């Protein structure tokens, strides 16, 4: 389709045609092909900037003014500029692309001062894409020939009928040295273009031969749907090449960015907020056909950082909305290694990464064939958080029936937990790990803390003798964490937090050292009486008769609050409500268990008294939960 209309012009596009292209192009549609956009209010849209790495969206699009602008990196302009920057097109290429989109026939002005050129001044990218489009047609037409029978059998044997093959543009590279090359040369593509595109390569004789021969062909498309390369599978036993051959690196095919199936999957990925990463072309097809339309695959390379960048923009992955990446593995060692590497690589992604391992070590294509579409959907639905997967994998290597095995497993697993950046999640995983190992929480927690703070010596060193200063489990539970936060507020921000802090009783604190510090604040006169600064910290420390408490006061006086920016009354209110809520829910639990032990017939009065207390506590808990959720 590209090869026709664009072949004969030279010179410049007429200005009024450029204006028409601008007018007929909806910039939001063009940008949506690459970046998922959400409403930013006032009719504007926003997304993650494709030109710089960011976590929250500062890339804005104004459909009314037909422009985009990024507040993060300052790039901005119209749709033509966007394509130039995003797709590395020239101005002319950009206009041509948008004109084709809008169905506008461009007219060119002859540049009369320039010498007549033998070839049109057409952009390289467009020529290479056009060559690929022509190659797709060629390979497709070959799929019905007699020689392509093994290719058709391969597809049928994988559960793909004719319509599936057509949907993915499958084709066949015929037996012969230069059939495609000749075909494309006849269509006007040059020797250099075919070599640059990776479709042909020079033989020793100097003449051009086809890169792919006697193989089943999958066209690989970029996110906008242009074919930029091919994946080719071996079909014949006497083919000495690797099982899969891919287009080499070219100006338009960068394997570190390419995701097979992204053109078909991108809308569902954006809609569902998740993406399923599989390992091969047939797996992508099988998933899509089994109604897992979010599947994509890397092409001849491991999943890496560039792939993440591509996906994050489609997922609109940001702090406001977290996208989910699900890797499927057929359970072999290579897949597991890849998953563990992902764990090492991108911490930002760890919490949103899931692993789906087929129980029978089948890939999605085999699974669909053996057990049907539902089994493929089940595989994805049964995904497991990457952290859980990694822990299970590490622990699985040890014999947990022996003490040595358990201790060694703990030492190997602790660094993984320590690596979890999201500290809120660590206590949860400490508990989980302890449970999985059948050990007490305490030693596991110590191992994790050592791995987090200790020397990077692989955890071989015995636990350091308890320093008197280290005020024991710092962040061992959400409850400890919120107690700690409340105490930090009292020490660091007494003017702001004082009244609310003093209103919460010492009995609402649970951790013994925290109780000691809370009592010291009261003994120092209460946080409401303080004006802050070093004098106040000293006063509380002097009032504290617990050694661990004194050390903790020094720590808490300088530890950053868990809030971005300045604390405000709302933050204090939320913190204190969470603290009380923890304490109230604890009392509710105790009360419930007590009520169960009271006989409502013989001890009717006591039963009703406890029951009344329970109801009022539950009401209190509800109010606190609302307050903790942010309502003052």
Which residues contribute to the site for Zn ion (CB under 5 A)?
49, 51-52, 70, 72-73
Contact 438, 448 (CB under 8 A): no
- Give alpha helix (H) positions in 176-261: 179-186, 191-197
CA 203 remoteness from chain centre: 43
Give all strands (DSSP E) within 14-85, no chain letters: 38-41, 44-47, 59-62, 67-70, 76-77
- Give alpha helix (H) positions in 179-301: 179-186, 191-197, 262-272, 281-289
Smallest separation (angstroms) from Zn ion to the CB of 49: 3
Q: Compute the distance between CA of residue 280 and CA of residue 298 in angstroms, rounded to an integer.
A: 7
Rank residues 51 and 244 by Cβ distance to Zn ion and give the closer one: 51
Query: Which positions ≥6 away from 317 have C-beta within 8 Å?
Result: 48, 311, 323, 352
Smallest separation (angstroms) from Zn ion to the CB of 74: 7
Select from 375, 265, 369 the least CA-distant residue to 325.
265
Rank residues 56 and 114 by Cβ distance to Zn ion and give the closer one: 56
Q: Compute the distance between CA of residue 522 and CA of residue 516 in angstroms, rounded to an integer.
A: 10
Other C-beta atoms within 10 Å of 463: how many? 11
Select from 104, 54, 62, 58 the least CA-distant residue to 79.
62
Smallest separation (angstroms) from Zn ion to the CB of 59: 5
Rank residues 57 and 459 by Cβ distance to Zn ion and give the closer one: 57
Smallest separation (angstroms) from Zn ion to the CB of 54: 6
Smallest separation (angstroms) from Zn ion to the CB of 390: 33
Rank residues 54 and 363 by Cβ distance to Zn ion and give the closer one: 54
Query: Which positions ≥6 away from 25 have C-beta within 8 Å?
Result: 66, 79, 98, 101, 102
Rank residues 73 and 629 by Cβ distance to Zn ion and give the closer one: 73
> Taking phi first (over 0 means left), then psi (-120 to 50 degrees means alpha), and beta for anything else, what does residue 291 get?
left
Q: At what angle do helices 478-492 and 569-597 cross, to 10 degrees?
A: 140
Select from 348, 451, 440 the least CA-distant residue to 394.
451
Q: Compute the distance between CA of residue 397 and CA of residue 338 in angstroms, rounded to an integer.
A: 17
Rank residues 50 and 219 by Cβ distance to Zn ion and give the closer one: 50
Q: Compute the distance between CA of residue 607 and CA of residue 22 in angstroms, rounded to an integer.
A: 78
Rank residues 49 and 544 by Cβ distance to Zn ion and give the closer one: 49
Rank residues 309 and 336 by Cβ distance to Zn ion and give the closer one: 309
Rank residues 64 and 73 by Cβ distance to Zn ion and give the closer one: 73
Smallest separation (angstroms) from Zn ion to the CB of 91: 21
Rank residues 58 and 336 by Cβ distance to Zn ion and give the closer one: 58
Q: Compute the distance between CA of residue 280 and CA of residue 244 in angstroms, rounded to an integer.
A: 10
Rank residues 72 and 385 by Cβ distance to Zn ion and give the closer one: 72
Contact 501, 576 (CB under 8 A): yes
- Give alpha helix (H) positions in 187-304: 191-197, 262-272, 281-289
Measure the N-to-C terminal CA separation of the chain; round to a whole number of Å. Answer: 62
Q: Which two tokens stand for residue 506?
A: 């010492």
Smallest separation (angstroms) from Zn ion to the CB of 114: 37
CA triple 371-373-377, angle to 5 deg: 105
Rank residues 14 and 52 by Cβ distance to Zn ion and give the closer one: 52
Smallest separation (angstroms) from Zn ion to the CB of 542: 52
Q: Compute the distance between CA of residue 150 and CA of residue 214 in angstroms, rounded to an integer.
A: 9
Smallest separation (angstroms) from Zn ion to the CB of 26: 21
Contact 30, 97 (CB under 8 A): no
């Amino acid at each position: 389709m590209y090869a026709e209309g664009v072949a004969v012009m030279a010179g410049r596009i007429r200005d009024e045609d450029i204006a028409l292209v601008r007018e007929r192009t909806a910039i939001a549609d063009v940008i949506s092909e690459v970046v998922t956009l959400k409403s930013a209010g006032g009719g504007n849209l926003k997304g993650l900037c494709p030109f710089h790495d960011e976590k929250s969206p500062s890339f804005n699009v104004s459909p009314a003014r037909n422009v985009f602008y990024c507040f993060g990196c300052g790039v901005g302009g119209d749709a033509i500029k966007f394509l130039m920057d995003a797709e590395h097109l020239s101005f002319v290429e950009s206009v041509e692309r948008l004109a084709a989109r809008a169905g506008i026939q461009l007219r060119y002005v002859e540049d009369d001062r320039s010498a007549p050129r033998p070839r049109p001044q057409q952009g390289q990218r467009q020529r290479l894409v056009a060559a690929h489009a022509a190659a797709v047609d060629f390979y497709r037409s070959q799929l019905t020939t007699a020689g392509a029978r093994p290719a058709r059998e391969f597809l049928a044997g994988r559960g793909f009928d004719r319509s599936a093959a057509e949907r993915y543009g499958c084709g066949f590279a015929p037996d012969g040295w230069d059939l495609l090359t000749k075909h494309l040369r006849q269509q006007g593509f040059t020797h250099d273009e075919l070599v640059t595109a990776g479709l042909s390569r020079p033989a020793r004789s100097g003449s051009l031969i086809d890169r792919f021969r006697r193989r089943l062909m999958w066209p690989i498309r970029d996110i906008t749907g242009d074919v930029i390369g091919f994946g080719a599978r071996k079909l014949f036993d006497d083919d000495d090449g690797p099982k899969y051959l891919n287009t080499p690196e070219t100006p338009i095919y960068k394997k570190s960015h390419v995701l097979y199936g992204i053109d078909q999957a991108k809308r569902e990925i954006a809609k569902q907020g998740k993406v399923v990463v599989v390992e091969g072309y047939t797996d992508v097809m099988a998933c899509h056909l089994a109604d897992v339309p979010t599947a994509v695959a890397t092409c001849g390379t491991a999943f890496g950082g560039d792939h993440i960048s591509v996906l994050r923009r489609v997922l609109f992955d940001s702090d406001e909305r977290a996208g989910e990446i699900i890797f499927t593995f057929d359970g072999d060692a290579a897949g597991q290694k890849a998953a563990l590497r992902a764990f090492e690589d991108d911490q930002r992604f760890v919490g949103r990464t899931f692993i789906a391992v087929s129980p029978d070590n089948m890939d999605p294509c085999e699974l669909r064939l053996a057990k049907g579409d539902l089994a493929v959907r089940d595989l994805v639905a049964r995904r497991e958080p990457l952290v859980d997967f990694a822990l299970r994998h590490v622990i699985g290597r040890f014999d947990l029936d022996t003490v040595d095995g358990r201790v060694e497993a703990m030492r190997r697993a602790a660094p993984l937990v320590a690596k979890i950046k999201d500290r809120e999640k660590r206590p949860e995983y400490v508990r989980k790990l302890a449970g999985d190992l059948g050990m007490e929480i305490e030693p596991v927690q110590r191992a994790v803390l050592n791995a987090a703070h200790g020397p990077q010596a692989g955890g071989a060193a015995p636990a350091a003798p308890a320093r008197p200063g280290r005020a024991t489990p710092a962040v061992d539970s959400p409850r400890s964490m919120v107690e700690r936060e409340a105490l930090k507020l009292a020490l660091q921000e007494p003017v702001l937090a004082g009244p609310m802090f003093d209103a919460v009783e010492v009995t609402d604190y649970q951790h013994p050292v925290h109780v000691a510090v809370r009592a010291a604040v009261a003994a120092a006169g209460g946080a409401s009486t303080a004006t802050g600064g070093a004098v106040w910290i000293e006063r509380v420390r002097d009032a504290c008769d617990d050694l661990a408490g004194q050390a903790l006061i020094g720590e808490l006086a300088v530890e950053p609050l868990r809030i971005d920016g300045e604390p405000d009354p709302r933050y204090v209110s939320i913190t204190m409500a969470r603290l009380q809520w923890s304490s109230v829910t604890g009392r509710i639990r105790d009360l419930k268990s007590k009520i169960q032990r009271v006989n409502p017939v013989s001890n009717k009065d006591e039963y009703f008294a406890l029951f009344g207390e329970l109801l009022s506590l539950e009401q209190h808990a509800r109010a606190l939960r609302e307050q903790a959720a942010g309502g003052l």
